[in-house]
Amino acid sequence: MSQPDAADIIQPSSGAHITLPAWYAGAHHNGLIIPKTKYGRMVFMIPFLGHVIAGTTDAKCAVSDRPTARGREVGFILEALQDYLDIQVRPSDVLSTWSGIRPLAADPRAKAEHLIMEEPDGMITVSGGKWTTYRSMAEEAVDLAMATGRMPPNARPHSRTARLPLLGGAGYTHTLPQQLAQVHGPASAEAAAGVASPAALAKTGAGRGAGSGRVVIGEDTAAHLAQTAEDRGLGARLVAGHPFLEAEVVYAVWHEYCQTPDDFLARRTRLAFLDARAALSALPRVVDLMAAECGWDGARRSTMSASARDYLATFLPAPAAAANAAAAASAVAAATPAAAA
């Protein structure tokens, strides 16, 4: 907007991932990181929500609302793992495939992975960056705005970001999971550590016990879920082999502003990322439950269902493409300079 003729300052880069069954991580739930595969790129394999995710690629791509893992990217990941695992890494074991687009800073002036600068007309550009650096980017951007004198005169001289705890971060200590386990049982600790779903928490009743008066992560969620499951007879699992309960759909609609079945299956739960076929088989029941809660008519229901089906299809592994690993893998690896992850 500031300079219509400016060169691109972002190089979009696709980062594909695959999900494998938990047993890929072995009995001890091991993670594996290969800092430098034969193509030079780092590849990892880590336990995630009762499964294993592996990735990733770093290939120039076009920006799309629905990025998908390309067959050759999946092949690259499988081949990299095969070089380090004794078992046969089979495309048929892949449960889901997906990709995200990194906004890499392409501008040579970028000192780090992001670029923050003042344009000649005073607009401040923030580009690139990552999750682990977003607060320092915010700090730099605000400080630059202060320094260039375009903030209100009564504004503070520097960003306050560094001293503000994140929501939920006040009083956090690294022993919080253990403290929760002592008060409420192990499921609370797992939830605090991010390894248990609210449903698992609800099932054990953890989070409701003890009455310590302290805020327990997930306590409200667990109590609501348990109540909904009991009152409405929605304690059944949405799909066999995964912990998500029917009650979670109702909870997501009423307490998390969930409006679409694909949002529920991809983000409120992670089922699409964990197991694409399971997400597709859960879809009709999710649509039923959401239609009842949201009052959808037949037409709306069909639109929602079709749109979710299209989206979930982007996670389906394509074994034939994945099998075509070796030739394509080197092309993927060579496509862009290595990003951090």
Ligand X SMILES: Cc1cc2nc3c(=O)[nH]c(=O)nc-3n(C[C@H](O)[C@H](O)[C@H](O)COP(=O)(O)OP(=O)(O)OC[C@H]3O[C@@H](n4cnc5c(N)ncnc54)[C@H](O)[C@@H]3O)c2cc1C
For residues 338 and 289, the answer to whether their CB atoms sit within 8 Å is: no
Q: List residues binding ligand X (CB under 6 A).
A: 15, 56, 100-102, 130-132, 267, 340-341
Q: E-strand spans in 78-230?
A: 96-105, 114-118, 124-128
Least separation in angstroms between CB 267 and ligand X: 5
Between 130 and 285, CB nearer to ligand X? 130
Q: Which residue is nearest to ligand X (CB)?
A: 15
Q: CB of 65: closest distance to ligand X in angstroms?
A: 9
Beta bridge partners of 128: 114
Minimal distance, residue 266 CB to ligand X, in Å: 7
Q: Residue 16: beta bridge partners?
A: 99
Pick the closest to residue 81 from 14, 22, 18 (CA basis): 18
Determine the distance from the C-alpha atom of residue 301 to the mean position of all C-alpha atoms in its chain, rounded to a whole number.
Answer: 27
CB nearer to ligand X: pick between 226 and 304: 304
Q: Which is nearer to ligand X, 206 or 311 (CB)?
A: 311
Residue of 280, 332, 330 whose CA lies nearest to 38: 330
Q: How far is the CB of 207 from ligand X (least distance, A)?
A: 25
CB-nearer residue toward ligand X: 237 or 267: 267
Q: Decide: 59 and 76 in contact? Cβ < 8 Å.
A: no
Q: For ligand X, which is the closer residue by CB, 210 or 294?
A: 294
| Cβ 236 to ligand X shortest distance, Å | 27
Of 98 and 229, nearer to ligand X (C-beta) is 98
* Letter string b/e over residues 294-316, b meaning 16 or more CB atoms within 10 A of that residue's CB: eebeeeebeebbeebeebbebbb
Report whether 77 contacts 333 (CB < 8 A): no
Query: What gap in Å lies between CA 222 and CA 227, rounded to an integer?
Result: 9
Least Cβ distance, residue 108 to ligand X (angstroms) = 21
